[in-house]
């Protein structure tokens, strides 16, 4: 008879503390960078009046999107009642919480005056999508906390499925809200379309799935575990499905823009003559992030872990460049403030493609946020029973001391 129990992360004390202080160093660097930007002013960054969302926002939005998508593993268990994934659900929810906290932390530190956050959280202008997202993000954190509690505490375990369904619904709305931040900006030719909302949802599913796989394999490196072949192949199938869906919505987004006359100039810019932005789109977002992973996964007849790992790393690189294209390139294309006029000279940068060179301070803040998410995961799995282990019989307990079931 098989019984699944959950255990803490078993890692050598020396390795744990080296990892802990290494991540802590990056967190400290991130804080010092944010403090420097706040005290000296944002003129020390690459951001300006034209490009107001920079590298920290790429990290923040990407982490929030991953937070939504990584919960997909838990959702398969709770919403669709797939028992194979039930042991994976607690870690999935922990990862979602960690990435959400780190993404929001980057945003708060980049904005400056975090003490004023209480004003934004208590004074809502519901005509603003930003106000809705404050509500969605804080609500998601609370729901995740309840969801994790119901999975770890046997006394409330009967509520885990309703909590999981509620978390699944909330994260879909949350990712829709994140995509709508850009979709509702009708003044920008790169944005102003409802397709960005479902595009962000499918991106979250893709990025969350591969991040979950990568973290599980990292844990597996330090602590010998039994990674189910069936789950591995299911993750591969999900990755392929989400890659195709991502490619479909990306094509749909650009075809829609090509149909709308006022977006034609931007499409020409991003697809043909945008310089570094065009390269980032075709080489980074499309080739590295979508086509190469599909080629690797289809070419591998043996369906090995190594091919999935290679595809995962490429997708993560592509995810960062995709956010660069959406956030930076979308702002780099100039606003058309005075339409139907020929601009001879302007101090408003009309018809000027804006340049953006991120600084070390922005990079430090972004990497500090990533380190924060990882240290939350490390502390969580080292102190709470998040990692599943399967015991087949009393005699197999010794094996269970070193083998975990995923």
pLDDT per position as a tens digit, 208-255: 999 999 999 898 888 765 567 788 889 999 999 999 999 999 999 999
Residues 6+ apart with CB under 8 A from 214: 309, 312, 313, 316
Query: Which has the higher per-residue pLDDT, 308 or 348?
Result: 308
Domains and CATH numbers, the chain: 9-224+233-263+336-383 (1.20.1630.10)
Please, are residues 198 and 180 in contact by the beta-carbon 8 Å criterion? no
What is the pTM for the complete model shown? Answer: 0.91
Q: What is the pLDDT of residue 112?
A: 75
Stretch (H or E) spanning 391: strand 387-391
The model's pLDDT over 75-125, given as tens digits with 9 standing for 90+, comes to 988 888 888 888 889 999 999 999 999 999 999 998 877 777 777 777 777
Question: Residue 387 — φ and ψ, nearest 5°?
Answer: -95, 120
At residue 165, the pLDDT reads 94
Phi, psi torsion values for 405, nearest 5 degrees: -105, 130
Mean pLDDT of 300-326: 93
pLDDT higher at 18 or 400:
18
Which 3 state secondary structure label does DSSP give 390?
strand
pLDDT score recorded for residue 271: 95
Least confident of 125-134, 214-223, 310-319, 344-353: 344-353
Percent of the chain topping pLDDT 70: 91
């Amino acid at each position: 008879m098989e019984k699944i129990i959950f255990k803490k992360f078993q890692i050598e004390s020396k390795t744990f503390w080296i990892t802990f202080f290494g991540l802590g160093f990056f967190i400290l660097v991130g804080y010092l960078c944010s403090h420097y930007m706040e005290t000296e002013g944002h003129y020390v960054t690459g951001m300006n009046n034209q490009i107001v969302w920079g590298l920290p926002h790429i990290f923040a939005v990407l982490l929030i999107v991953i937070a939504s998508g990584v919960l997909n593993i838990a959702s398969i268990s709770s919403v669709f009642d797939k028992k194979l994934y039930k042991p994976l659900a607690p870690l999935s929810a922990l990862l979602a919480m960690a990435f959400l906290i780190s993404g929001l932390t980057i945003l708060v530190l980049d904005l400056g005056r975090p003490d004023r956050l209480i004003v934004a959280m208590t004074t809502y202008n519901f005509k603003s999508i930003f106000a809705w997202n404050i509500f969605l993000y804080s609500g998601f954190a609370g729901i995740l906390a309840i969801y994790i509690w119901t999975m770890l505490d046997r006394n409330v375990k009967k509520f885990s499925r309703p909590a999981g369904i509620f978390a699944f619904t909330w994260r879909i709305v949350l990712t829709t809200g994140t995509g709508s931040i850009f979709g509702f900006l009708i003044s920008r030719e790169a944005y102003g379309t409802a397709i960005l909302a479902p595009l962000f949802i499918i991106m979250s599913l893709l990025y969350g799935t591969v991040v979950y796989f990568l973290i599980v394999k990292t844990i597996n490196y330090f602590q010998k575990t039994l990674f189910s072949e069936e789950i591995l192949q299911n993750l591969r199938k999900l990755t392929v499905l989400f890659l195709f869906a991502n490619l479909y919505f990306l094509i749909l987004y650009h075809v829609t823009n090509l149909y709308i006359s006022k977006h034609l100039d931007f499409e020409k810019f991003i697809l043909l003559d945008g310089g570094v932005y065009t390269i980032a789109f075709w080489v980074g977002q499309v080739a590295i992030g979508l086509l190469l992973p599909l080629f690797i996964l289809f070419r591998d007849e043996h369906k090995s872990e190594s091919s999935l790992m290679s595809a995962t790393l490429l997708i993560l690189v592509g995810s960062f460049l995709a956010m660069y294209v959406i956030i930076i390139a979308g702002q780099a294309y100039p606003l058309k403030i005075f339409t139907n006029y020929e601009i001879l000279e302007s101090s408003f940068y009309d018809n000027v493609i804006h340049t953006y060179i991120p600084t070390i301070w922005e990079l430090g803040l972004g990497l500090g946020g990533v380190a924060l998410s990882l240290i939350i995961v490390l502390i969580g799995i080292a102190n709470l029973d998040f990692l599943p282990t399967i015991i087949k019989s009393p005699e197999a307990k010794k094996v269970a001391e070193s083998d975990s079931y995923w």
